Amino acid sequence: MALKAKEQNIAVFGETGSGKTVLLSSFFGATQEPSFRKANPYRVLADDTGQGRRLRQNYLRMRDDAQAPLATRFEAKSYSFTVRPNEDDTSTEHSFNALRLVWHDYPGEWFEEEPSDAEEAQRRIETFKRLMTSDVAVVLIDGQKLLEYAGEEEKYLKSVLWNIDEGLGRLRDDILTDGKPLEEFPRIWVLALSKADLHPTMNVQSFKDLVERKSADDLAILHKTLRSFVEVPEALSLGEDFLLLSSAKFETERIEITNRIGLDLILPIATMLPLERVTQWAESLNIPFKVLQKLVDNADDLARVLTPFIAKILEHVPGVGKWLSRLLSPAIVSLVMLSKDKLQQLVDRAMEDRDYLSAMLAQFRLDLMDGVDQDVLEKSAW
């Protein structure tokens, strides 16, 4: 079957040493383990063989030789992965049969240091324009730095948020044509605690409480800056979604890569969280879906895949009141309202029907719910 993929983008921001390289290597390496394919209805393939080999090598060296990847500096890279069902889908109705996740890695040094020359300055602008294709941005808060600033965490958090705010401010005039706000821009900014294993007593709620207690004003300033970049600024989330991440546990003579935290939520966050948030914005902000779907990649395409499947499986679609006039389909609202038990039934039925794409997308939604229940993910209140 010919591959027809829809692209989802995620941008990862983190200062020097925050763990971006380890995070990416652990994310991809784990998906190549036989146990991953057995446990999930999909597989992850690197579109660039060379990149995939290097990430896999980093992972194996951590797993087998206790060697951490070399730190990268001033390297702005994008990594592309194809996410496709384990087996060919029998459905002929879908307009696509795979997802393409593009992971944009923004060098932390570029928010911390001035460009060395005009060429580097231009490269930063071009890199950020690529980042703007993302629906979701993840801002890494370094767990090691929080330990170093224990009791004065606001100093570290302020530096992270201010560096991003000032970096965006410097790029604003170069990115906005005649000051016109952008339609395409990350709409969901997730604050993620990297190296969460260093904080064994901290769950995602206590991480959220810490950030809000120590840096509420700085979040408000950054939020105002982000809103100045976009059309429909109401449809933008910052300080509403929090995530715990641990790529591996570094010990004296070994690196434990099996007790990872949060990495299995990267794909669901990039794919299903925007669709969920579009539904929420349509209700709370009174913004028509036809407007919102222009702001979030593939919202309409994902909806079209899931709608006939959900409508076929459910005996009836739960009433959704005034949403019906705004959303493409009430079935999509059903997806974000269903209980975990009902979602699991949908996944199981889709697998039986060999509708593997629907099973994969519904599983992503189920994964988000599991992340919340496990105190790893905190999402914007419904």
pLDDT tens digits, 134-193: 899 999 999 999 999 999 999 999 999 998 998 888 888 888 888 888 888 899 999 999
Spatial separation of the C-alpha atoms in residues 62 and 345, rounded to whole Å: 37
Q: CA torsion 210→216→222→223, rounded to 10°? A: 110
DSSP string, 64-99: HH--PPPP--S--EEEEEEEEESS----S--S-SEE
* Paired strand residues for 80: 102
Cα of 162 vs its chain's centroid, Å: 22
Confidence of residue 260 (pLDDT cuts 50, 70, 90): confident
Q: pLDDT higher for 292 or 244?
A: 244
CA angle 91–9–105, rounded 5-degree value? 145
- Whether 226 has a pLDDT exceeding 90, the answer reads yes
Q: pLDDT higher for 45 or 65?
A: 45
Residue 296: exposure state from Cβ atoms within 10 A (0-12, 13-18, ≥19): buried
Reported residue count of the chain is: 382
Residue 343 CB contacts under 8 Å (≥ 6 apart), including other chains: 335, 362, 365, 366, 369
Question: What are phi and psi for residue 212, nearest 5 degrees?
Answer: -70, -35
Spatial separation of the C-alpha atoms in residues 349 and 219, rounded to whole Å: 43
| Per-residue pLDDT, 79 | 92
Q: In terms of Cα–Cα distance, which of 197, 350, 92, 133 is closest to 366?
A: 350
| Per-residue pLDDT, 320 | 46
For the ranges 20-24, 105-109, 264-268, which has the lowest average pLDDT? 105-109
Q: CA torsion 346→348→354→355, rounded to 10°? A: 20
Mean pLDDT of all residues belonging to the chain: 84
CB 228 within 8 A of CB 165: no
Residue 118: exposure state from Cβ atoms within 10 A (0-12, 13-18, ≥19): exposed
* Paired strand residues for 244: 193
Helix (H, G, I), strand (E, B) or coil at 374: coil
| Per-residue pLDDT, 156 | 96
For the ranges 177-181, 237-241, 303-307, which has the lowest average pLDDT? 303-307
Q: Helices (H) and strands (E) in the chain — how many of each?
A: 14, 10
Token pair for 363 = 């599983």
Residue 34 CB contacts under 8 Å (≥ 6 apart), including other chains: none
- CATH number belonging to the domain at 6-378, selected among 3.30.310.10, 3.40.50.300, 3.40.50.9100, 3.40.50.280: 3.40.50.300
How is the chain split into domains, by residue range? Answer: 6-378
